[in-house]
Chains A and B, each alone.
Chain A
Amino acid sequence: MKVGLVSPYPWDVPGGVVAHVRELAETLISLGHDVSVISPVDDEDAPLPPWVTRAGRSVPVPFNGSVSRLIFGPVSASRVRRWLHDGDFDVLHLHSPETLSLSLLALMNARGPIVATFHAANPRSRVLALLQSPLQVQIEKIVGSIAVSPAARKTIVEHLGSDAVVIPNGVHVRRYADAAPLPGWPGSGGALGFVGRIDEPRKGLSVLLEAMPYLWKQFPDLRLLVAGPGELDHDVDERVVLLGQLDEDAKAQAYRSVDVFVAPNTGGESFGIILLEAMAAGTPIVASDLDAFRRVLDAPDGDRAGALATVGDAESVAHACASLLSSPARLEALSRCGRSLVSRYDWTVVAAEIVRVYETAVAASVGRVVEELEPM
């Protein structure tokens, strides 16, 4: 199929949605589809794969307590229209069209078999409430909607009065399963791992750092590997190793470099892609007891691919880690359970499901994707 994918956020700024778009595109291409992506790109010199088209730079706008990177304007609009025209797509797949982003701009300029994936689970979105009416006119042009989690589906049911099929995020299982540990890891004293923005409070690194002293009483040489962008405003113990932002391959190696992966998130997670990555790597997990995490970790037969800790409670995190570290049999069992659970999230499985949505959307539409400006 000829597939046009629209990324709402800059290609060269790391983020979950952009990673999803990139990995979906790679998988579709490997399955023999003809894929073109249009995305904002902030750095004009950033190297891009040949299948990515630049839509211009994004503009950071402070909104709702965080910074949204929006893209709008006549230049981007004309680039989107040309991309739609030249692409002659069988299906147009937008990501997060509910944000004021390139995806919405593409939606405003297109008609035909349009599929959209909703990534956010944001129960109190004032933006959506405010924009519901004008957005509705655009949203109703979407032929098939996908939500990445039940929570994301609930959000669009409540805020857009729309519905979606649930297809989860994917993970390249082999990339993680086959990665070699980083040199020198995990080491004889044992190692824990953390992946995520280190200065984003909801990722919970501070909870884990608080848990470490409890653990060092029992495991004095235990190290903590931290992979992720951001700055800390305080010094850390030398047994905490900050590796900064890692590329995809090094990140896969990082998961394989630790005895236990810790996800001490305090909330705001719609899905929990980090858990899938750890499961693919076969790394046992200690995770905050969040709904989104349970959904990923719980096996249908009642088994679980990780231990749960009370949200935001450093002692609980320490306790869960300590009991795992002192039981090799339990580590082995969790690793096995994770590997078996994660196979259904492999990109080849997930992309096949998404292609079924494409084909259903094409069957439920008249004609191909065409560019057409619709009045708001």
Chain B
Amino acid sequence: MGLFITIAVVAVLLAVYASWAAGRLDRLHARVDAAGAALEDQLKVRAAAAEELATQRRVPAPVAMELARAAAKARLATGLDHDREVIESALSRALQEACATFEHGSVATATAVDASTRAAFARRFHNDAVRDALVVRRRWVVRLLHLAGHAPRPAYFEIADAPLEFADVAAAAAPYD
């Protein structure tokens, strides 16, 4: 009898915990999805800004061509898989090449700089959401009871997106990161 009650109490506690953890995991997955969608949107905005920067006459022809090519690829890309990481990193490099021909604060680069900053923020927030979700998914109760269900395993999105640097290094280098 005593054993039965103990088992019953443990089962009830486990059920309560499981339902709470499932709700928590649900919210975390929703956060990852929303952050991923925001990141994709922001990458699109960055690609558009890069295409525009590539049309600036100040940018030397080879650099502009490379930028236009990288931007066009990024504009057509979807999803946040490894291929996308390669494409977006290439765009980051092309943007850096182009910005190195301008002075800090130049009007021509303002849109691209703004879009790059926002994309970097969106990526940081996305990866933060991924980390929080993975921490909970790794718990043994969560794995044992399959609380994650069929939700796909969240993945980090890793690209090079250091702040853009300009010709006049003195005023432009990242002041605080």
Docked complex Cα distance between A150 and B174 (Å): 12
Contact of A295 among B41, B129, B176 (CB under 8 A): B176
**B contact residues, total (Cβ < 8 Å):** 36
* B167 CB within 8 Å of chain A: no
- By a CB distance below 8 angstroms, the chain B residues around A357 are 121
- For the A-B complex with A303-B170, A375-B20 known, give 12 more contacts whose Cβ atoms are closer than 8 Å: A136-B135, A143-B125, A144-B124, A162-B128, A163-B128, A164-B124, A164-B128, A300-B173, A356-B118, A363-B41, A364-B38, A364-B126
Assembly CA distance A162 to B172 (angstroms): 28
29 sampled A-B residue pairs with Cβ under 8 A:
A136-B132, A141-B27, A143-B31, A143-B35, A144-B124, A144-B125, A149-B176, A150-B176, A150-B177, A161-B131, A165-B124, A167-B176, A168-B175, A300-B173, A301-B170, A303-B170, A340-B171, A356-B114, A356-B117, A356-B118, A357-B121, A360-B125, A363-B41, A363-B122, A364-B34, A364-B122, A364-B125, A364-B129, A366-B30
Interface residue tally for chain A (C-beta within 8 Å): 36
* B120 on interface, CB distance cutoff 8 Å: yes
Q: How far is the CA of A242 from the CA of B172 in the complex (A)?
A: 40
With A137-B24, A300-B169, A356-B117 already in contact, the answer to whether A166 and B176 are too (CB < 8 A) is yes
B28 at the interface (CB under 8 A from A): yes
Write the nearest CB–CB distance from B177 to chain A, whole angstroms: 5
Contacts of B31 in A (CB 8 A): 140, 143, 364-365
> Number of A-B pairs whose CB atoms are under 8 Å?
86
A147 to chain B, nearest CB (A): 10
Interface of B with A (CB < 8 Å)?
Answer: 20, 24, 27-28, 30-31, 34-35, 37-39, 41-42, 114, 117-118, 120-122, 124-129, 131-132, 135, 169-173, 175-177
- Min CB gap A303→B, angstroms: 8
Interface pair A165/B120, CB less than 8 Å apart: yes
The reply to whether A365 and B176 form a contact with Cβ atoms under 8 Å apart is no
**How far in angstroms is the closest Cβ of chain A from B94?**
22
What is the CA–CA distance of A182 and B25 in the complex, to the nearest angstrom?
59
Pairwise interchain contact A359-B118, C-beta atoms closer than 8 A? yes
Residues of A within 8 A of B131 (CB): 161-163
Per a CB cutoff under 8 Å, which of A145, A164, A366 touches B34?
A366
Q: Which residues of chain B come closer than 8 Å to A365, judged between CB atoms?
A: 31, 34
Using Cβ atoms and an 8 Å threshold, which residues of chain B touch A295?
Answer: 176
Q: Are B28 and A140 neighbours in the complex by a CB distance under 8 Å?
A: yes
A239 within 8 Å of B by Cβ?
A: no
A299 within 8 Å of B (CB atoms): yes
Residues of B within 8 A of A356 (CB): 114, 117-118, 121
CA distance A38 to B31 in the complex (A): 26
B103 vs chain A, min Cβ distance (A): 14
Q: How far is the CB of A285 from chain B (nearest CB, A)?
A: 17
Q: Are B121 and A144 in contact (CB under 8 A)?
A: yes
A258 within 8 A of B: no
Let me know if A300 and B170 touch, CB within 8 A: yes
Query: Which residues in chain A, 345-375, are within 8 Å of chain B measured between CB atoms?
Result: 345, 353, 356-357, 359-361, 363-366, 375
User: A189-214 CB contact bits vs B (8 Å, 1 = yes)?
Assistant: 00000000000000000000000000
Interface: A344 (CB within 8 A): yes
The distance from the CB of A151 to the nearest CB of chain B, in whole angstroms, is: 11
Closest to A360 in B: B121
Smallest Cβ-Cβ distance to B135: which chain A residue? A161
CB distance from A308 to the nearest CB of B (A): 18
* Beta-carbon nearest neighbor of A148 in chain B: B176
Contacts of A299 in B (CB 8 A): 170
Query: Are A165 and B30 also in contact (CB < 8 A) when A300-B170, A344-B175 are?
Result: no
